[in-house]
Amino acid sequence: MNLLNDNEKQYLLSKIRDVADFPQPGIVFKDITTLLKDSNAFSFLIDHLYNYYKDKDIEFVAGIESRGFIFGAALAYRLKSSFVPIRKKGKLPYTTISEKYALEYGFDEVEIHIDAFDGKDDNPNVLLIDDLIATGGTAKAAIDLINKSGANCSNACFIIDLTFLNGTDLLDKHTDIYSVLEIS
């Protein structure tokens, strides 16, 4: 399990664009599309994640809608694992199970197909992945959903961790967490 050194972290951070006041005033949005369009940076990141997870017996990679799909599908391919999308309510065509989570004003819900983790071992190991963790609500709901489905969310990975929002504090009792980049 190799971690990135400071120069490698700076390289990846330099490929992520800050967009001020998006989606609302006062927010600095971390735009990963600039990293994705740089084939060298994207390959470097996926290679790093592959090397980090290759010996962890990951049978499924579950990506949170929508940017988690990008990283999750690429990493699942490299790991020779299956990919499972975790989507917002009403987006999956077959029978689903769901998990609600609190927002600042109200609730939202994520879903997976009821048979998402069928076909491999009982209680298969799942890596949850997303581009960013902020407060952790969506990720916590996704972990609960994976575990509720009969699988084991053994690891969670985030490309960016906004550490000042303490999202990983909500998760660290439930799974092993790896954040590639931390922004405080």
> Which residue has tokens 């800050």?
18
Q: Look up residue 46 and give its two tokens.
A: 């996926």
CB burial readout 139-167, b (16+ within 10 A) else e: bbbbbbbbbebebbbbbbbbbbbbeebeb
Active-site option among 8, 65, 67, 78: 67
Nearest Cα neighbor of 71 from 55, 90, 105, 47 is 47
User: Does the active-site annotation cover 109?
Assistant: no
Residue type, 174: H
Active-site option among 8, 65, 87, 104: 104
User: Does the active-site annotation cover 59?
Assistant: no
Measure the CA–CA gap between 176 and 159, rounded to whole angstroms.
14
Residues assigned a catalytic role: 67, 104
